[in-house]
Amino acid sequence: MRRCPYLEEYFAESRGPVHTYHFDCHVDRRSKVKRSLLRPSPPICVRNFEDCPLYQSEKRREDGLITRYTD
């Protein structure tokens, strides 16, 4: 499973039917918590990070920098 390159820390814990995911995003420099009931549902940065708006904006910014220096 591929993870977002901007994901700094990620861990999951389960207590009864509640699954809790703790993760830190490098792009917005915030720690986040996602909870799901009964069925494990990890955050988007672990499932399908290409759809994450934070990833998309940072990727565009980095691609712009690379293009500017290679032209």
User: If you average pLDDT over every residue of the chain, what do you get?
Assistant: 87
- Domain holding 46, by residue range, is 7-70
Q: Does 34 reside within a domain?
A: yes
Q: Does 63 reside within a domain?
A: yes
58 touches 6 (CB < 8 A):
yes
- What are the pLDDT digits (tens) for 35-68? 998 778 888 888 888 999 999 999 999 998 887 7
Entry pTM: 0.72
30 touches 6 (CB < 8 A):
no
Q: Give the ranges where the chain is alpha helix by DSSP (H).
A: 44-47, 53-70
Q: Does 1 reside within a domain?
A: no
Domain count, the chain: 1
